[in-house]
Amino acid sequence: MRKSRQVLMDQTGWQVEPVPALIGFSQFFGMLSKATFPAASFIRGREDFDYIEEPDIFHEIYGHTPLLTDPRFAKFSQKLGETGTKCDKSEYSWLIRLYWFTVEFGLIREGHEIKALGSGLASSPGELDHSINEPTVVRKPFDIIDILRTPYRIDINQPIYFA
């Protein structure tokens, strides 16, 4: 049986590298541009089972790495990283919003059905349900300009998602 790191490498050429909790955006984009996913190595406590603002290893491995086995998704993530290494720091917030509303909390439409896509949803049972079933949630069609203009908070279930 192949080890999971070998599966990721064989599928898309990506690898995972442990980092101490949160890292700066320039390091983050630099690593993504090299097809290397920075993974926080601590694990959340029981009291934070549903959601924790800092990414932990459960979120990183369970949430992020399955998506990175998809060549389209892996390419998108790498391009986002490359763009981050070329742009001015003052433009980081645009890229982070795009990352937030796709990689972290994106939804995807399959036929008439809306499904969870993002890593932040995969690692939060509460928000996973909220994103799909909560009637007050706004689920907008994917629109890049709309996404770049939409601020977000990290401490609540999202009121807006893009599919």
Residue 13 zone, left/alpha/beta (φ > 0; ψ -120 to 50; rest): left
C-beta of 12 vs 68, nearer to Fe ion: 68
Q: Is 112 a catalytic residue?
A: no
**Which of positions 64-93 make contact with Fe ion (CB under 5 A)?**
none
Report in angstroms how near the CB of residue 2 gets to Fe ion at its nearest: 24
Residue among 55, 81, 84, 118 that touches Fe ion (CB under 5 A): 55
Q: Is 77 a catalytic residue?
A: no
**Which of positions 104-123 make contact with Fe ion (CB under 5 A)?**
119
Q: Which of 33, 60, 77, 104 is catalytic?
A: 104
Alpha-carbon distance 65 to 123, whole Å? Answer: 12
Report in angstroms how near the CB of residue 101 gets to Fe ion at its nearest: 12
CA dihedral 94, 99, 105, 109 (to 10 degrees): 100
C-beta of 1 vs 124, nearer to Fe ion: 124
Alpha-carbon distance 86 to 72, whole Å? Answer: 21
Structure tokens at 90: 């003052």
Residues 101 and 138 sit within 8 Å (Cβ to Cβ): no
Catalytically active residues, by annotation: 59, 64, 104, 123
- The binding site for Fe ion (CB under 5 A) comprises 55, 119
